[in-house]
Amino acid sequence: MGLPTVDAPCFLCGSREADPLWTTPDRAFAVPGLYTVARCRRCRFLYQKPRVDDAHLAACYPDRYPRHQEPSPRIPFKGSPGRIRAARWALASALGYSHFRDPSVGLLTRLRAWALRRRISWDCPPWRGGGRYLDVGCGSGGALGAAKALGWQVTGVEVDDAAAAKAKRFTDEIHVGDALTAPFAPGRFDVVTAFHVLEHVPDPVAMIRRMLEWLAPGGLLIVEVPNAGGLGAAIFGKAWSGLELPRHLSHFSPESLERAVEQGGGRMVWCWHGAKPRYYLWSLAAWLRDHGRTRLASDTERRLVYGLLKIFLEVTLPLVRLARRGEVIRVGIASR
């Protein structure tokens, strides 16, 4: 027996007409049941239909769910003093952190900073206004810890009690509960982030609208979701690792995410594509299992084969990003 579901309409256009596309069990955490992704007939949006009833959503998340664990914050100041100087220069020159600016740095440090720029742009929010940062769905606080180390005043929202308790090692300002009910004043934050949150919530448009209300003038909302319009979904279909049923209720592409943003009163200002080899390797192992190749699936998970595939993918991934068919999309959103 699976979790109780409701037959809700399309999150984006409200139509009830949709065609089932993929049906899978919970591959990651074995929550009982089979769940289906359908494509809206009117607007082509992909969403879970029927979807897990709101009252039972918490049952989709076991305690070992990774966001509830304790990841160490990805602070860019690691390694040799030279690398740290380069990281500070990258933050100052590419992301607006003027408090890290040190005009005495030499050419070599600047070159090194240039090489670090891409990585740092994914790990650190661009500096805005007075440095007031909110992470929605902060889990145990990895992003809060990193932002705090960069000089932000940090605040979090987290629905899971145990994860929120861990996030409190970085700040007392954690709202435990649904983001829609969080009591922040309008215009209170310079940057708001929501990494892998929108695909989990029953009303992503309302969530975007709420997060935009919290932005100060000139502020930036940054959202990251799996990309159902990417190469992985096209190749692997129902074995695609981004499906994550029953936890993912919406499956955005760059186009449908932009539509959700506009309905929520925002404007997409940039869209980055990202991918990590492990996303493809998870999809590949699931695809092989679905095709009865269990032995081969286990082989791909073995260290040597995994390592070789990983090297191959590391080399080809820049092409995927260039083709704008990444496994995740991260978008910057401003108020309209």
Query: Rule CB under 5 A: which residues touch Zn ion?
Result: 10, 12-13, 15, 40, 42-43, 45
42 vs 267, which CB is nearer to Zn ion? 42
Do residues 242 and 228 lie in contact, with contact meaning Cβ atoms separated by under 8 Å? yes
How many CB atoms are closer than 10 A to CB 290? 15
How many CB atoms are closer than 10 A to CB 279? 23
Task: Compute the least distance from the CB of residue 18 to Zn ion, in Å.
Answer: 8
The span from the CA of 82 to the CA of 110, in Å, is 11
The span from the CA of 241 to the CA of 232, in Å, is 8
Residues 91, 95, 96, 102: what is their CA dihedral angle, to the nearest 10 degrees?
A: 20
Cβ-based burial of 134 (10 A; exposed 0-12, middle 13-18, buried ≥19): buried
159-182: b (≥16 Cβ within 10 Å) or e: bbeebbebbbebbeebbbeebeeb
Decide the pairing of beta strands 153-158 and 132-136: parallel
43 vs 296, which CB is nearer to Zn ion? 43
Task: Compute the least distance from the CB of residue 234 to Zn ion, in Å.
Answer: 20
- Residue keyed to tokens 């708001």: 192
Task: Compute the least distance from the CB of residue 39 to Zn ion, in Å.
Answer: 9
What would the two tokens of residue 132 be? 């007031």
10 vs 90, which CB is nearer to Zn ion? 10
Task: Compute the least distance from the CB of residue 327 to Zn ion, in Å.
Answer: 23
Task: Compute the least distance from the CB of residue 331 to Zn ion, in Å.
Answer: 20
DSSP string for residues in 78-119: -SSHHHHHHHHHHHHHHH--GGG--TT--HHHHHHHHHHHHH
12 vs 261, which CB is nearer to Zn ion? 12
39 vs 56, which CB is nearer to Zn ion? 39
38 vs 331, which CB is nearer to Zn ion? 38
The span from the CA of 245 to the CA of 322, in Å, is 28
Task: Compute the least distance from the CB of residue 256 to Zn ion, in Å.
Answer: 9
40 vs 249, which CB is nearer to Zn ion? 40
19 vs 63, which CB is nearer to Zn ion? 19
Task: Compute the least distance from the CB of residue 229 to Zn ion, in Å.
Answer: 15
Task: Compute the least distance from the CB of residue 7 to Zn ion, in Å.
Answer: 14
Task: Compute the least distance from the CB of residue 14 to Zn ion, in Å.
Answer: 7
Radius of gyration of the chain (CA): 20
What would the two tokens of residue 142 be? 């990895």
The span from the CA of 166 to the CA of 161, in Å, is 9
Q: Which residues is 204 bridged to in the sheet?
A: none
10 vs 136, which CB is nearer to Zn ion? 10
